[in-house]
Structure formats: structure tokens, C-alpha cells
A and B are shown apart, each in its own frame.
Chain A
Amino acid sequence: MNLTLHVWRQKGPNDPGRFETYPATGISEHMSFLEMLDTVNEKLEAEGKEPIVFEHDCREGICGCCGFMIDGKAHGGQHKTTVCQLHMRSFKDGDELTLEPWRAQAFPVIKDLMVDRSAFDRIIQSGGYVSVRSGSPQDANAILIGKEVADRAFDAAACIGCGACVASCPNAAAMLFTGAKITHLGVLPQGAPERFRRVQAMTTQMDMEGFGYCTNHGECSAYCPKGISLDVIARMNQDLLLAQVVTRDEVRREGGE
């Protein structure tokens, strides 16, 4: 099949950027979306033109590298699917598609469809961990964790950090991402001791990065390729509120900075 692509091209953060149109011809329905772009790029390359830049690595929907908007839908909008896992059989001959990068102040465009998501790393860095060092902790089975709790932690931990939540949120908020880590670690006994400190530190960093706020539209969760539930945001809010009540001043200050 043949398609027409309107692709956002931007040389760098300071270039205003523009849409350009490319034909994608001879596309097989078995191709993945990125393989379709590969064929467009290979043609551009052979002509000595600069190929369309997009981020990708595993192409299995797990590393979280890939992601851009297709017709205004993060990752193309297929249920629980990253763009590298999206296949051309869900499009039809003659389709015209608009490809845009994630747009958010906190995710500056690096080039074309590639954005800088290091804000996410800084949020984790601010407290998204359990403070243990490599060594000899207690035996793994010494901590009993009920299956429901373990499953709940896992569901939140399934986040791949792709940024689709921010991209699809009308407010460009990063609450699903941040809430997922806070829930993952907060519900487990291992993460409980640092629970309140963590939530304060991480939400402060989240604000500092310039993300928006949550109005409970639910788009983030709907477009999340891992289907992270909105409940993680409620859990984060709850923890932050509780933190105001139960923590001592000292800890609060530490957490906030």
C-alpha cells in the first residue's frame, strides 16, 4: 500500500521546525510502523538526504525509546501498543498521517521526532529508589509479600518511561509516570520506610521540571502502552497529603529540597 506522511522536521532545539510531506510507497501490511519509516529513510539516505530522526532501540515495546504522535494519538493510539509494535495492517492504502514529536516544555525537541526525556531520569534520581547498597541483605524470603501487593507493585513498575503520558495529557503532566514509581515502591514493605520522603522529593522535582498538573482526564492511562492505572496518581496524592500530616518537620525539609 501507499501512504502520505506529514512529518515534523526540526534541526535542533532552536530551529522553529515545520511539517514536510513524504510518500511511503510499497508498504507491506506486515511491516511495523518503524519499518515503514525505515523504508522511507533508506530512500532518503540513498539520495544523500537526511533521514527522519526518531528514537528507537528494542523494537519490542519494552525499552521505552520509541514514541511520537500519529494523527494526534500517542504511539498511534492502539491499545497497549508502542509505536515500534504498531503494525501497518491497522492502516489502509491512501492514508495520510501526521507525525509529531511529544510536545512538552519539559521534553525539548532534539531533532525531528526525537525529544529529550531526561526530566524523567531526574525525577527518579530525586528519590525513586530504595536506599540499599550492594552487599548481603536479608534472605529474599524473609520478607513475605502477599500476591496482591506484589501484583500491585508489579503493575505500577511495568512503566517503560516512554513519555506517552505526558504527550497525551492535555496539561502535559507527568503524574502518571511519577505516581507509578511512588506506587511501585510505596506499596512494598521494602520501600515503605522512605515512602513519605520519596513522595515529597519526587513531586517537587516533577514540578521543577515544568510539567503540568492533573485534571483527571485519564488520557495518560488510556494511551499508556503498559496500561498503568490512574489509581497511581491518587495514591501519590494520598501519600503527599499524608506526608504533610505524619512526617516531622525535619524530614519534610529534607524531602522538599
Chain B
Amino acid sequence: MILESKAPKGDIQTAWDRHKFDVKMVNPANKRKYTVIVVGTGLAGASAAASLGELGYNVLNFAFQDSARRAHSIAAQGGINAAKNYQGDGDSIYRLFYDTVKGGDFRAREENVYRLAQVSVNIIDQAVAQGVPFAREYGGLLANRSFGGALVSRTFYAQGQTGQQLLIGAYQALMRQVNDGKVKLFTRTEMLDLVIQDGHARGIITRNLVSGKVERWVADAVVLATGGYSNVFFLSTNAMGCNVTSTWRAARRGALFANPCYTQIHPTCIPVSGGYQSKLTLMSESLRNDGRVWAPKNPADGWDSSKGKVGKDPRQIPEAERDYFLERRYPTFGNLVPRDVASRAAKKACDDGQGIAYEGRGVYLDFGDAIQRLGKDAVGERYGNLFEMYERITGDSPYETPMRIYPAPHYTMGGLWVDYNLQSNVPGLFVIGEANFSDHGANRLGASALMQGLSDGYFVLPYTIGHYLAQVGPRGKSTEWDSFKQVEGEVTERTDKLMSIKGKRSVDSFHRELGLLMWEHCGMARNAKGLSLLLQEIPRIRAEFWENVSVPGTPGELNQVLERAGRVADFLEFAEMMALDALEREESCGGHFREEHQSAEGEAERDDEKFQYVAAWEFKGVGVRPELHKEALDFRYVKPSKRSYK
């Protein structure tokens, strides 16, 4: 299969404008003849559904939560990037483009990234027009902060709740369309499969989570905006319901899954506190602007598992016995090195026995100096709500004692392969937001996911989907096609199978077992041995799952265990592809760190000669090796260089 990016050739700065002019347009009077399914109401899904509704299409919009407003985008704290250059500090579209390509370790498509940087500017205008209450200066202008080690202040924010405010803006736009009857919203409805008719994506099969009813939906195109798969690690900063189901089901029907091994680990999360832990909580990256990361030099001062606590109270450890390892290893960027670098450094300190939290997995983030320098009030002004949140969870106050932090899975750059039009290799199947693989390469810059989701939904998809629809024209629609009957049959059969096992182990116990293994061998650092082990272990766990999982209740009612069982079953298939991708990518790039490929100082070593491509995998059957398709990447503007933050 040849993967065509369909990106416009020639000058990158005019590429998107030219493309918008070149695409086919749907006659306004004809738009109501088309129905589009949008799965997901996160930033990507809600913005897309609202925009398509405004344009006049009929939209069917689905989410598994009880309200569109609760999609996981709501949890984003830090902010959203845009190349507005409001601060006059030398930012530009080109600089955001450059930073994103470089930050992604030269594994993203340049044209997509350039468009993202261009559109970023409109997103802020759009959000402000909707009434999103971004932070402001006294004079009434929008405020910005610098984020995640960027050298310019281009991040817009709304206290620590940027994602919430942006999502509510998109949700309100969506509800306006619901009110106008252009969007039909189906909450508490989970997509369980994709229906392909004559080679085109034409519908989905869903389960109503309240009644258990399995239903068919037909449309002219299907848009997946279902978010990322970080929960393959069981413990992550993602919401409990985040899943790979919709994208994996599409992959099983022929959509290519690209770069599954690119996952991002966020360095500043609250460490695990015990085996019962159900999820991890992120502490905004902005904390590293003033906090200093360290671990005790002396392992005896660290975690003592026999006692279940640290050897020495951090406040008693003198300066000389503290290892400020980020400042030591990266003198220029210090505590502000990118996420992957900071995460690995913390892992290394813990591997070396310096860890300070449960099972030796944690380091300190200390505000002692900042409080001395700026005063408690000024620190409280900046981080007060984060400190409160930390104290609520851990019972300790960061004003008095250093925070404990540890990296945690947070974002997945991998996803379904899409071209410049955000269309997958299956015609009529579009994928937007975190669910697709585009734009971030092997590593995502802080505050860029919100930007990408909204860019896809408000400004890109509404144009590119028209191109597809105009080409295929209005077509007949029926849920009575054999394709629907067949896929629905398969969905019901799978549900019945899950219900009939009546085994002894809980769904979570399988998820936890898988997650721990993935975290250990396919997490922050990976090696051939561990990955090969995974490829043996995953099928074993999967086999046991299908023999011994316990799903009480019935399928014809609200059944939360059944919901989780279906999601875990998909993770158990998907994880294998992820491990294989990590094994095959014999280089270190961005979030993917292969221990075999590092310099003497422990820095990642990329191999552009062999791996400057997108790895898009084609599903060939459960337990069967998927087929690899490559999309070669060409860097015409930002020449690949070694990322260095020394």
C-alpha cells in the first residue's frame, strides 16, 4: 500500500491556502443531504460537530459520558499555544512550526505542522469570541506564559483549567447546534465498531450504555475524535474511561494505526501511593518554572521499603547532600528541559536508588528557594490552586515540604494514520484530535494538544471533509445493508462471549497486569529484551482474560463492568501492536527511548537514515503479525538536527 500524504507541494507558507482553494466544495443547498457521524465530544469532536452543524450538514454526535461537556479534554490544565506574538518576544508562525517539528524529534509531517501553527492564531480569536475567560492583564489584554521550555511566551491559559474552559466553549457551540436541530447528540453511547460498505466508511455500531441496546447508524462519512490510548498502561493521567476501542475497531476494519509506540510521559505527576491506585494525577508542568527537582544523593535518605517511608525527612537533608540532577545534567535548560528528558532523568535517579516515594518511585520538586526568593504569597498567587490540589490528595502542603513527583503516561502521539485531509486510508473515515497520529511526531510540546484538537475540529476538517463529500456525492443510506447486519452480529457475539465466561478474575485485575507490564517494558525506556518479553506475555494474558474474566449482570442494562471488559479486551489486542512497533523502531526518538540507542552520556540517539518514516501498521488478525507500511518523511524546511538541551 502506498501512503500518500496528499500534502500540497511547493511553498509551505501558502500550502494551506492553496489547498483550501483547490478542494472541491459542497453546494450549500446540498449540505443537508449529507449526514456525518462524529464520535467524541472532546475539543476535537465538539468543535468539529459544531462547525459541521453550522455549515449545514446533519451531524450525529456520540460520547460515552453522560454529557458532552465531560470529555477528557476537560482535564487539561496548563494552556494552549498560539503564535500570536502578543508579547512581542519574537514569536511567529514559523517559530511555532520550527519548535513543533524539532520538539517532535523530526518524526512529523512538515506541512501538517505548518498548518497547525498557522491556524493556532484563529483558535484564540474563536475561543475569545465564544466567551472563553482566558487570563488577562490589568489593561485588558490577554496574558501569556512560557510553557514546557519554550523560549517565547505563547501559551494562553485560564488559571489551571484551560482545557475545561476551552471545552465548555466548544460544548456551548455544540449545544447551540443541538438546539438548532443540526446536531443530534447521543451521550452514554459507546461506539463498538465501524461499518464499511463498498470500501467506504459508512456507519458505526453503538451500545446504549443505559439500556444496553445495540444500534446501527448510517452516514456519508465517519469522524473519529475519541482521544488517546494512555490507559493501555492502566495507570495514567487520563480519565478512567479513555480507551482505544473506537480506533482499534477501525484498525481491525482496515484503517492503519501509525506510530503506536510514541507515547508521552509527563514528568510531574503525583507518585503512586499503593497497589490500589486507580489513576495518576498530573501536576501542571508550569510548576517547573519555579520548583527545583532533586533527589537525595545518599540512597539511605530515599525510600526504605522495609519501613514504608523515606530514610530522612527532605527538610533535614542539607544542600550538599541533594542532587539537583536536572540542573547538573542540563545546565542551560535546567529544570525546564522537555518532558521526555525530564522524565527519563527522574527514572534514572530512581533506578540508581535515589527514589523517595512508594517503591522508590519519586523525586522531590522543591519550592523552598522560590518561597524564599519571591515570598509565600507570590508563590501562592502562581501555584496556589495546584498546591491545594496536591495537599488534598497527599495530605502534605508544598509550602512546608517538597512535593513528591514521578513521571506518568499522559498523551499518545500515535494514532490512526491520516493524510493531509485528516482522512485515513479508509475513504470516508476521518480521524481528528489525539486519536490521529499527525502533527506531533515522536514527542508533543506542552500546550499543543489542545491546539491541535481545536485546529482539526474548527478549521481543518470542516473544509477537507467537504472535499470528500463533494467527490462522492449524495448516496443512498440504509442500516439494512448486509454490512450493518454482519458487523452488528459480530458485536453482539463478542458481548455475549464476554458475559458467558463467568470466570474468577475481575476486569481490573487484567487491566492492571497488562498496564504494569507495559509500563515496565514499553514505558519511559524500552529495550529489545523487554519488548520481546511483552510479545510473549500479552497473548498469554489475553488468553487468560477470555477464559477467566468475571462480568456480572446482564448485557441488556447499565453494566459498567461490561463496558470496561470490552475496553480491556481491545487494549489486550492493541498492546501487542504497540510493543511490536517499539521493538521494530531501533532508534531513540522523542518519547520512544530505546536503551540500546543512547550516547555515552545517556542521551537519545536517532537514526534518520533508517527510521525517518511513519510506521503505519495494518491489522491482519489477532495474534497475527501486522503488516508495516511506511510513509517516508521529508524535511524541506527544518533540517533534522540533534536535539540538545545541555
A and B touch in the complex (CB under 8 A): yes
List residues of A whose CB falls within 8 A of some B CB. Answer: 11-12, 28, 30-32, 34-35, 38-39, 42, 44-46, 48-51, 53, 55-65, 78, 80-81, 85, 87, 89, 110-111, 114, 116-118, 120-121, 124-141, 143-147, 150-151, 153-154, 157-158, 160-161, 184-185, 188, 190-191
Listed by A's residue number, 21 A-B pairs whose Cβ atoms lie within 8 Å are A49-B552, A51-B560, A57-B65, A64-B67, A80-B388, A121-B185, A124-B175, A125-B178, A131-B176, A132-B129, A133-B173, A134-B47, A134-B50, A134-B462, A153-B133, A154-B159, A154-B165, A157-B168, A184-B133, A190-B130, A191-B131
Which chain B residues border A125 with CB–CB below 8 Å? Answer: 175-176, 178-179
Q: Cβ of B70 and Cβ of A63 under 8 Å apart? A: yes
Contact for A85 among B129, B179, B393, B395, CB less than 8 A? B393
Assuming the contacts A45-B550, A129-B176, A141-B86, asked whether A58 and B75 have C-beta atoms less than 8 A apart, the reply is: yes
Contact for A63 among B65, B142, B561, CB less than 8 A? B65
Q: Cβ of B506 and Cβ of A144 under 8 Å apart? A: no
Q: Cβ of B135 and Cβ of A150 under 8 Å apart? A: yes
Which chain B residues border A135 with CB–CB below 8 Å? Answer: 126
Q: Cβ of B125 and Cβ of A137 under 8 Å apart? A: yes
Q: Cβ of A140 and Cβ of B66 under 8 Å apart? A: no
**Nearest-neighbor residue (CB-CB) of A37 within chain B:** B278
Which chain B residues border A80 with CB–CB below 8 Å? Answer: 388
- Which B60-75 residues sit within 8 Å CB-CB of chain A? 65-70, 72, 74-75
Q: Cβ of A121 and Cβ of B67 under 8 Å apart? A: yes
* Complex Cα spacing A208 to B466, Å: 39
Q: Cβ of A147 and Cβ of B129 under 8 Å apart? A: no
Which chain B residues border A141 with CB–CB below 8 Å? Answer: 84, 86, 141-142
Please provide the 9 A-B residue pairs with the shortest distance between their CB atoms, ordered closest to farther. Answer: A144-B140, A129-B172, A137-B129, A154-B133, A140-B128, A150-B136, A134-B51, A153-B133, A30-B273
* Complex Cα spacing A46 to B54, Å: 49
Q: Cβ of A65 and Cβ of B131 under 8 Å apart? A: no
B310 contacts the other chain (CB 8 A): no
Q: Cβ of B122 and Cβ of A136 under 8 Å apart? A: yes
* Complex Cα spacing A35 to B185, Å: 31
B211 CB → nearest A CB, Å: 10
* Complex Cα spacing A44 to B125, Å: 51
B164 contacts the other chain (CB 8 A): yes
Q: Cβ of B67 and Cβ of A118 under 8 Å apart? A: yes
How many chain B residues have a CB neighbour from A under 8 Å?
A: 84
Which chain A residues border B279 with CB–CB below 8 Å? Answer: 59-60
* Complex Cα spacing A65 to B134, Å: 24
Which chain B residues border A116 with CB–CB below 8 Å? Answer: 66
* Complex Cα spacing A46 to B502, Å: 9
A186 CB → nearest B CB, Å: 10
* Complex Cα spacing A5 to B55, Å: 52
Assuming the contacts A45-B552, A150-B133, A161-B69, asked whether A35 and B558 have C-beta atoms less than 8 A apart, the reply is: no
Which chain A residues border B175 with CB–CB below 8 Å? Answer: 121, 124-125, 128-129
Q: Cβ of B389 and Cβ of A53 under 8 Å apart? A: no
Q: Cβ of A185 and Cβ of B66 under 8 Å apart? A: no
Which chain A residues border B508 with CB–CB below 8 Å? Answer: 38, 42
* Complex Cα spacing A129 to B171, Å: 9
List residues of B whose CB falls within 8 A of some A CB. Answer: 47, 50-51, 54, 65-70, 72, 74-75, 84, 86, 122, 124-131, 133-142, 158-159, 161, 164-165, 168, 171-173, 175-176, 178-179, 185, 187, 210, 239-241, 273-274, 276-279, 281-282, 388-389, 392-395, 458-459, 462, 502, 504-509, 550, 552-553, 557-558, 560-561
Q: Pick the most buried of B159, B175, B187: most chain A CB atoms within 10 A of its CB.
A: B175
Tell me the interface secondary structure of chain A in the complex.
Answer: loop
Q: Cβ of A87 and Cβ of B392 under 8 Å apart? A: yes
Contact for A64 among B51, B69, B173, CB less than 8 A? B69
**Nearest-neighbor residue (CB-CB) of B158 within chain A:** A154
- New A-B pairs, 7, CB < 8 Å, besides A45-B507, A154-B165, A157-B133: A32-B393, A50-B553, A62-B164, A133-B54, A140-B134, A145-B140, A154-B133
Q: Cβ of B504 and Cβ of A28 under 8 Å apart? A: no
Q: Pick the most buried of B122, B185, B187, B506: most chain A CB atoms within 10 A of its CB.
A: B506
Q: Pick the most buried of A35, A124, A161: most chain B CB atoms within 10 A of its CB.
A: A124
A236 CB → nearest B CB, Å: 16
Q: Cβ of A130 and Cβ of B65 under 8 Å apart? A: no
Contact for A136 among B125, B135, B550, CB less than 8 A? B125
Assuming the contacts A64-B70, A125-B178, A147-B136, asked whether A46 and B550 have C-beta atoms less than 8 A apart, the reply is: yes
* Complex Cα spacing A110 to B560, Å: 12
Which chain A residues border B140 with CB–CB below 8 Å? Answer: 144-147
Q: Cβ of A59 and Cβ of B240 under 8 Å apart? A: yes
A4 CB → nearest B CB, Å: 19
Which chain A residues border B171 with CB–CB below 8 Å? Answer: 124
Q: Cβ of A65 and Cβ of B135 under 8 Å apart? A: no
**Nearest-neighbor residue (CB-CB) of B141 within chain A:** A141
* Complex Cα spacing A32 to B51, Å: 39
Assuming the contacts A87-B395, A154-B158, asked whether A31 and B552 have C-beta atoms less than 8 A apart, the reply is: no
Q: Cβ of A124 and Cβ of B74 under 8 Å apart? A: no
* Complex Cα spacing A44 to B472, Å: 52
Which chain B residues border A129 with CB–CB below 8 Å? Answer: 130, 172-173, 175-176
Which chain B residues border A117 with CB–CB below 8 Å? Answer: 66-67
Q: Cβ of A31 and Cβ of B506 under 8 Å apart? A: no
* Complex Cα spacing A132 to B137, Å: 25
B365 CB → nearest A CB, Å: 18
Q: Cβ of B75 and Cβ of A158 under 8 Å apart? A: no
B11 CB → nearest A CB, Å: 22
Q: Cβ of A60 and Cβ of B281 under 8 Å apart? A: yes
Which chain A residues border B278 with CB–CB below 8 Å? Answer: 32, 34-35, 38, 59
Q: Cβ of B130 and Cβ of A144 under 8 Å apart? A: no
Q: Pick the most buried of B54, B138, B276, B459: most chain A CB atoms within 10 A of its CB.
A: B276
Which chain A residues border B165 with CB–CB below 8 Å? Answer: 154, 157
**Nearest-neighbor residue (CB-CB) of A38 within chain B:** B278
A86 CB → nearest B CB, Å: 8
* Complex Cα spacing A213 to B86, Å: 45
Q: Cβ of A28 and Cβ of B274 under 8 Å apart? A: yes
Assuming the contacts A58-B75, A190-B129, asked whether A118 and B506 have C-beta atoms less than 8 A apart, the reply is: no
Which chain B residues border A49 with CB–CB below 8 Å? Answer: 552
* Complex Cα spacing A99 to B51, Å: 42
Q: Cβ of A58 and Cβ of B458 under 8 Å apart? A: no
* Complex Cα spacing A87 to B69, Å: 25
Q: Cβ of A134 and Cβ of B176 under 8 Å apart? A: no
* Complex Cα spacing A31 to B505, Å: 22
Q: Cβ of B393 and Cβ of A87 under 8 Å apart? A: yes
* Complex Cα spacing A135 to B502, Å: 53
Q: Cβ of B276 and Cβ of A31 under 8 Å apart? A: yes
